[in-house]
Structure 1
Amino acid sequence: MQSEQVITERGTGTPLVLLHSSLSSKTQWSKLSEQLITGYRIIAIDLYGYGESEFPDSPNQFSLAKEAARIARIIRQHLGNERFHLIGHSYGGATALRLAHENPSRILSLGLYEPVAFFLLDQSEPAYRIMQQVEQQIASNLAKGDIPTATAHFIDFWSGQGTYQGLQVEKQRMLDRYIDKVLLDFQAVLREPLRAEDYRNLALPVCLLRSQESPLPTRRVAEVLEHTLPRLEAHWVPGGHLAPITNADEVNPYWINFLRHLREPAGPEEDERAKLLL
């Protein structure tokens, strides 16, 4: 059985699974967990290669499907066949989308913050090419053994030029430890075979959050999702791509209100709409 260290489980009630971003861990959800501990059984999971989790076997054959399959196994070990809410940030959001595609009947709702689901984009558009260039730069630096430059390229892309250099050395070294998995994350989302049309029938209630301060590629993914998922609500929030970590007080109320609304009894119109979806 998967080590208990790769998850934190708190509270009682309806299960809520949380998937973190690249270069992060399950601990990024501590504030949201505190806010939802009454009424939800919260399960925050370390994705492959982060926190207490092991690095994936056969990295040359790694894929988003394998990431999602591992999460599905862990969820099954802890929840059996019980249904659950699912929230994912960045790479955790892309993993959540893959998990929802494979297991739509298991998931009660989907919360997404700027999922890096670049596979939803046309490969000829600038936003996709930008991410290809980021991946290639990280891969090139790692091939030369220049781990700090690889990590800096990733951090500065999302948080602004000079961000990595401004961190304390201890923080830099901690982030450097995970950059090999970051490259696998990029490769997984850029090589994922599913496309936007594969998600058009995903009839889950979805809350999508995005920021005007984020780079173009994640804003484009958000646009595609808005035109693809039939039961999606979307909101703009401040703080950029890392807002669930840096601006949790502004982001979390959207998750809390979304989940609260789903718990309230549906009115006649909602009942009729639900019947049409069955």
Structure 2
Amino acid sequence: MAKIMVNGARLAYDDTGDGTPVVLLHAGIADRRMWREQVDALASRHRVIALDLRGYGESGLPPAPFANHDDLAGLLAALGIERAALVGCSFGGAVAIDTALAHPHRVTALALLGAAVSGNRWSDEANDLWDSLIGEVDPDDVPANAAAEVRFWVVGPGRRPEDVDPDLIAFAHQLDLRALAAEQALSAVEVTDLDPPAIGRLGELRMPVLVTAGAADLPDVSRLADRIAAEAPEAVRLPDVPDAGHLLPLERPEPVNAALRDFLP
């Protein structure tokens, strides 16, 4: 693990391998540890940077306004990397897309795995699924909230917890406990959003884009992957990964790694 000062914050990252640069951007319920199955698989051909976004994992959170897409561009500049491919899962996918729109000269390609998109709104169906699966959770009960998010996102609406590897559930719970602490801290800091947001600008993504999702994830996530693929000019939509929830790189590393090896420049 290394740390580097970027835009006034000390960001934590792992830097592994040699070759064309690739940055791995974690989900909002996780940190850079979720990429433990990808780093070595890609490092034989790529310089792999696994980043903790500001406030997450071991990255700092100074009390000053910031934008994740500017942090990422600043990280590349600080590391002497002119351009890199970005691989993002969930929230990390949204950061990847925002960076490609705000700093297109920095991005060679995007691989989006169950990606969110800034400006997108979840459907009433997704909210109803939460109500039916989870219901009310005390916002001050952090372990209960972590358990609820793991049930909703990692297990998914179409599976039972007993259908999923218990070690994955335990690790996801550990990741989410730390991510919830990050979210609480981030709520006191001004985060600058991309303006206008990415949801209306997907046609501006002029680099190669790979899109997929977990087949056991929320239907909204798969539909959003369809939209990205339809609107980004150079996008390729892979079929959803069978028996995978929202953290598909962690749950199903073999097909994800194979797709990334085939796609990344």
TM-score, reference length from structure 2 = 0.77
Aligned position for 1:204 = 207
More relative contact order in 1 or in 2 (CA 8 Å, sep 6+)? 2
Shift of 1:96: 0.5
Question: Are the counterparts in 1 of residues 208 and 235 from structure 2 also a CA contact under 8 Å?
Answer: yes
Unmatched 5+ stretches in structure 1? 263-278
Residues 174 and 244 from structure 1, CA distance in 2 versus in 1: closer, same or farther, beyond 3 angstroms? closer
Cα deviation code 1:54-104 (max 9, x no counterpart): 24636xx6xxx7122222222211025x11111111111111011111111
Question: Are the counterparts in 1 of residues 118 and 194 from structure 2 also a CA contact under 8 Å?
Answer: no
Give 4+ residue runs of structure 1 displaced > 6 Å after superposition: 131-134, 166-171, 187-192
Residues 179 and 191 from structure 1, CA distance in 2 versus in 1: closer, same or farther, beyond 3 angstroms? farther
Aligned position for 2:260 = 255
Question: Are the counterparts in 1 of residues 27 and 90 from structure 2 also a CA contact under 8 Å?
Answer: yes
Give 1:81-120 correspondences, 5 Å limit: 82-117=82-117, 119-120=119-120
What is the alpha-carbon distance in structure 1 between the residues aligned to residue 210 and residue 170 of structure 2?
37
Question: Are the counterparts in 1 of residues 38 and 249 from structure 2 also a CA contact under 8 Å?
Answer: no
Shift of 1:243: 1.5
Cα deviation code 1:83-140 (max 9, x no counterpart): 111111111111101111111121111101011226235x7x4357569989xx89x7
SS of the equivalent of 1:230 reads: coil
What is the alpha-carbon distance in structure 1 between the residues aligned to residue 23 and residue 58 of structure 2?
17
Residues 153 and 170 from structure 1, CA distance in 2 versus in 1: closer, same or farther, beyond 3 angstroms? closer
RMSD between superposed Cα atoms in Å: 3.6
Aligned position for 1:266 = none
* Greater mean deviation of Cα atoms: 91-100 or 148-157: 148-157
Question: Are the counterparts in 1 of residues 42 and 257 from structure 2 also a CA contact under 8 Å?
Answer: no
Shift of 1:207: 0.6
Aligned residue pair count: 245
Give 1:32-111 correspondences, 5 Å limit: 32-55=38-61, 57=63, 66-80=67-81, 82-111=82-111
Q: Match for 1:23: what amino acid?
A: I
Instruction: State yes or no: 1:234 paired with 2:237.
Output: yes
Residues 205 and 174 from structure 1, CA distance in 2 versus in 1: closer, same or farther, beyond 3 angstroms? closer
Residues 256 and 250 from structure 1, CA distance in 2 versus in 1: closer, same or farther, beyond 3 angstroms? same
Shift of 1:241: 1.6
Cα deviation code 1:203-255 (max 9, x no counterpart): 11001111221112211211221221010001121212221001101211001
Shift of 1:39: 2.5
Unmatched 5+ stretches in structure 2? none
Q: Match for 2:233: what amino acid?
A: P
SS of the equivalent of 1:71 reads: helix
What is the alpha-carbon distance in structure 2 between the residues aligned to residue 78 and residue 218 of structure 1?
33
Shift of 1:174: 6.2
Larger radius of gyration: 1
Aligned position for 1:243 = 248
Shift of 1:50: 2.2
Instruction: State yes or no: 1:222 paired with 2:225.
Output: yes
What is the alpha-carbon distance in structure 1 between the residues aligned to residue 78 and residue 101 of structure 2?
20
* Greater mean deviation of Cα atoms: 218-227 or 191-200: 191-200
Aligned position for 1:275 = none
What is the alpha-carbon distance in structure 2 between the residues aligned to residue 42 and residue 112 of structure 1?
16
SS of the equivalent of 2:231 reads: coil
TM-score, reference length from structure 1 = 0.74
Give 1:129-208 correspondences, 5 Å limit: 141-142=138-139, 145-158=140-153, 159-160=155-156, 163=161, 172=173, 175-182=176-183, 193-208=196-211
Q: Relative to total residues, which structure has the larger helix share, 1 or 2?
A: 1
Instruction: State yes or no: 1:22 paired with 2:28.
Output: yes
Residues 178 and 201 from structure 1, CA distance in 2 versus in 1: closer, same or farther, beyond 3 angstroms? closer
What is the alpha-carbon distance in structure 2 between the residues aligned to residue 193 and residue 128 of structure 1?
24
